Structure 1
Amino acid sequence: MSLPRKTILIILAFFAIYVIWGSTYLLNKIAVSHLPPFFLAAVRFLVAGAIIFLIAKSLKVSLKISKKQLLNASIAGFLFLTLGNGLAVLALKYIDSGFAALEISAQPLVVLIMMRLLYNKRIALMSYIGVILGFVGIFLLVSQKQIISQEGQVLGMVLIFACMLSWAYASIFVGKADLPKNSFVNTGYQMITGGLMLGVISLFLNEPWSLPHDWQNDVQWAMLGLILFGSIVAFTAFNFLLKEVSPEKVATSTYVNPIIALILGWWILNEQITTQSVVAAIVLLTGVYFINTKRKFKPRRI
Structure 2
Amino acid sequence: MRFLLAGTLLYGTLRLSGTPAPTRQDWQRAAVVGLCLPLFGNGGTTFAQQYIPSGMAALLVATVPMFLALLGWAAGLTPRPNAWVLLGLTLGMGGLGLLMSTRSAAPVLVPGHSLLGMAAVLLASLVWSVGSLYSRQKPIGGSPFLGVGMQMLFGGSFLLVAGLLHGEAATFQISKVPLSAWGAFAYLVVFGSFIAFSAYIWLLRMVEPALAGTYAFVNPVVAVLLGWVFAGETLNAGMLGGAALIVVAVALVVLGGRRKNAS
TM-score, normalised to structure 2, is 0.89
Instruction: Kindly provide the amino acid, as one letter, of the partner of residue 254 in structure 2.
Output: N
In the other structure, the counterpart of 1:287 is 249
Shift of 1:48: 1.4
Structure-2 separation of matches of 1:189 and 1:200:
17
Instruction: Give structure 1 stretches of 5+ with no counterpart.
Output: 1-42, 297-302
Structure-2 separation of matches of 1:224 and 1:56:
21
In the other structure, the counterpart of 1:139 is 97
In the other structure, the counterpart of 1:164 is 125
Compared with structure 1, are the counterparts of its residues 166 and 61 closer, same or farther at alpha carbon in structure 2 (3 Å cutoff)? Answer: farther
In the other structure, the counterpart of 2:227 is 265
Equivalent of residue 199 in structure 1, options 150, 160, 165 = 160
Structure-2 separation of matches of 1:147 and 1:181:
49
In the other structure, the counterpart of 2:69 is 112
1:137-191 Cα offsets, whole Å, 9 max, x none, are 111111114479x512111111101101111101111111031332221111001
Compared with structure 1, are the counterparts of its residues 145 and 262 closer, same or farther at alpha carbon in structure 2 (3 Å cutoff)? Answer: closer
Shift of 1:197: 1.5
Compared with structure 1, are the counterparts of its residues 212 and 224 closer, same or farther at alpha carbon in structure 2 (3 Å cutoff)? Answer: farther
Equivalent of residue 83 in structure 2, options 103, 125, 135 = 125
> Contact between 1:98 and 1:262, CA under 8 Å: does it hold in 2?
yes
Structure-2 separation of matches of 1:73 and 1:172:
13
In the other structure, the counterpart of 2:6 is 48
Structure-2 separation of matches of 1:258 and 1:126:
22
Instruction: Kindly provide the amino acid, as one letter, of the partner of residue 122 in structure 1.
Output: R
Instruction: Kindly provide the amino acid, as one letter, of the partner of residue 59 in structure 2.
Output: L
Does residue 1:238 correspond to 2:200, yes or no?
Answer: yes
Does residue 1:176 correspond to 2:134, yes or no?
Answer: no
Structure-2 separation of matches of 1:284 and 1:162:
17
> Contact between 2:69 and 2:209, CA under 8 Å: does it hold in 1?
no
Structure-2 separation of matches of 1:245 and 1:239:
11
Structure-1 separation of matches of 2:193 and 2:104:
34
Task: State the secondary structure of the residue aligned to 1:139.
Answer: helix
Alignment of 1:248-263 (within 5 A): 248-263=210-225
Alignment of 1:51-130 (within 5 A): 51-57=9-15, 60-62=17-19, 64-119=21-76, 121-130=79-88
Does residue 1:228 correspond to 2:228, yes or no?
Answer: no
Shift of 1:257: 0.7
TM-score, normalised to structure 1, is 0.78
Percent identity (aligned): 27
Structure-2 separation of matches of 1:232 and 1:219:
18
Shift of 1:206: 2.1
1:9-47 Cα offsets, whole Å, 9 max, x none, are xxxxxxxxxxxxxxxxxxxxxxxxxxxxxxxxxx12111
How many correspondences in the alignment? 252
In the other structure, the counterpart of 1:26 is none
Instruction: Kindly provide the amino acid, as one letter, of the partner of residue 88 in structure 2.
Output: G
